[in-house]
Amino acid sequence: MRQFAQPGPRFDAGRSAPMMIRALKVLLALAVGGLLMGRAAAENGQTNNNSVTLEEMIGQMLIVGFDGTRPQQKWPRKLGALLAKGHIGGVIFLKRNLSNARNARDLTRFFAQSATRHPAFIAVDQEGGSVQRLAGNVGLKRISSAQRVATKMDAEQAYDYYRNVARQLSEFGFNVNFGPVLDLNTNPQNPIIGRIGRSYSRDPDIVARYGAAFVRAHQAEGVITALKHFPGHGSSRTDSHLGFVDISETWREQELVPFARLISEGLADMVMIGHLHLGRYQTREDAQLPATFSRVLLGDVLRNQLKFDGVVVSDDMEMGAIRKRYAPGDALIRAIRAGNDLLILSGTTSGQTSLPERYIAAIKQAALEDPALKTQISQSYLRIVALKLRYLVPD
């Protein structure tokens, strides 16, 4: 497999001071995270007053969806209590949670104020086109799809366009936008990418250029982004929301190029893993597993080859590609073992407010039985702390 060239850093006097501040904040996050973790008791995961519990470290790895549109309702109140204890890392909004502008702002404010232990990821999918949660329902204009943006705008215009999108998200209280899509439009009939205009182009250079504009625009407004769907969903013939997707025969190595480019340019806050089976990068033990559970793809390719050292986030763990083949608790443990730091649970199929605590208990039990898993949880916690400190703690 080709090793992607990584250009050397360029000194820019106008950007050097903010970059140094950002680097110092990340280093401080690691130090703070180490203090917070302290010395966990080997048997029960409890820690001293200067540290967090194992449950809290696991909880920070969960981004949870919910039912409801107002803070007073059952699900939001439950998640607010979990945020207060640090037992979830954040929340994700779907369109069903956004009834109007006032309620949307009340909810994001409630979650942010509830998160007294750790700042909360308050996330949404606001790509544009068919994937946008905030539109007329909260009084905003619809956003153009990635395909239309690349057709109608140059990269500089796209930056201005996406900066306005990010500013609107920030004004509504969101601090994470799960985009941009870096999938190549190699199969225009792809039901979940090409057919609905979610890809900028089949050309990896164009995808990288517009993806970079998306990320830089959001970073300028303090909104975290996630490059998706690694290792590339553009060639698939089916939809991972519905069931198992095998891209082994259609995927091409050039689909890694946009990810490699943005990672090398320091534009990867998070990388989202697609629930996609790619046989060539999986061992015999990984046979028929999605990338979400592949140590080869997440470790050897993403971490070692592409040199990504940030937060790896799963796609929704309640999508059909996972839900139809794996028990929920087992799926989460598999994903952590493979190298996922954040796990999305959209709540679209569960609707049970007790699930986050049940999942934490199952993962904790597995971690107490497996020191390697416990170490991975600690490492994920540090990455999450670093990202939160970089974006969600004022300078």
- Give 152: exposed, middle or buried? Use CB within 10 Å, 0-12, 13-18, 19+: exposed
Stronger pLDDT, 142 or 283, i.e. the higher one: 142
Decide: 120 and 387 in contact? Cβ < 8 Å.
no
Tell me, yes or no, whether 5 lies in a domain: no
Decide: 64 and 356 in contact? Cβ < 8 Å.
yes
Q: Is the pLDDT of residue 4 over 50?
A: no
If pLDDT is split at 50, 70 and 90, which confidence band does 201 have? very high
Structure confidence at residue 187 (pLDDT) = 96
> Hey, what are 334's tokens?
């598999």
Structure confidence at residue 286 (pLDDT) = 61
Tell me, yes or no, whether 35 lies in a domain: no
Contacts of 240 (CB under 8 A, 6+ apart): 192, 233, 274, 275, 276, 290, 315, 319, 320, 321
Structure confidence at residue 120 (pLDDT) = 98
Q: Is the pTM of this model over 0.85?
A: yes
Reported as a single tens digit per residue, the pLDDT across 321-376 is: 999 999 989 999 999 999 999 999 998 767 788 999 999 999 999 999 999 999 99
User: In Å, how far from its chain's centre is CA 155?
Assistant: 24
Average pLDDT, the chain: 88
As annotated, the active-site residues are 241, 315
Structure confidence at residue 288 (pLDDT) = 81
Give the Cβ contact number of residue 318 at 10 Å. Answer: 18
Stronger pLDDT, 324 or 46, i.e. the higher one: 324
Total domains present in the chain:
1
Q: Is the pLDDT of residue 393 over 50?
A: yes
Query: In the chain, where do the E strands start and end?
Result: 62-64, 90-93, 121-124, 126-128, 131-132, 176-177, 224-230, 270-273, 311-316, 342-345
Mean pLDDT (whole number) for 300-307: 97
Partners of 316 in beta bridges: 344
119 φ, ψ (degrees, to nearest 5): -60, 150
Tell me, yes or no, whether 18 lies in a domain: no
Tell me, yes or no, whether 205 lies in a domain: yes
Q: Is the peptide bond before 180 cis (omega within 30 degrees of 0)?
A: yes
Mean pLDDT (whole number) for 62-88: 97
If pLDDT is split at 50, 70 and 90, which confidence band does 224 have? very high
Structure confidence at residue 352 (pLDDT) = 85
> Hey, what are 178's tokens?
């799960």
> Hey, what are 1's tokens?
């497999």
Structure confidence at residue 29 (pLDDT) = 52
Across 180-184, 213-217, 223-227, 390-394, least confident range: 390-394
If pLDDT is split at 50, 70 and 90, which confidence band does 392 have? very high
> Hey, what are 261's tokens?
């480019």
Tell me, yes or no, whether 122 lies in a domain: yes
CATH of the domain at 275: 3.20.20.300
Structure confidence at residue 28 (pLDDT) = 56
Partners of 126 in beta bridges: 132
**C-beta contacts of 294-301 below 8 A and 24+ residues apart:** 294/338, 295/337, 295/338, 295/339, 297/230, 297/231, 297/273, 298/273, 298/338, 298/339, 298/340, 299/338, 299/339, 301/231, 301/256
Percent of the chain topping pLDDT 90: 78
Tell me, yes or no, whether 250 lies in a domain: yes
Query: In 146-214, where do the E strands start and end?
Result: 176-177
Partners of 311 in beta bridges: 270
Mean pLDDT (whole number) for 223-231: 98
Tell me, yes or no, whether 1 lies in a domain: no
> Hey, what are 205's tokens?
């250079």
Across 48-62, 100-114, 373-387, least confident range: 48-62
Domain encompassing residue 77: 53-392
Mean pLDDT (whole number) for 93-119: 97
Structure confidence at residue 212 (pLDDT) = 98
Tell me, yes or no, whether 40 lies in a domain: no
Contacts of 215 (CB under 8 A, 6+ apart): 180, 225, 227, 262, 267, 268, 269
As a whole number of Å, the CA-based R_g of the chain is: 20
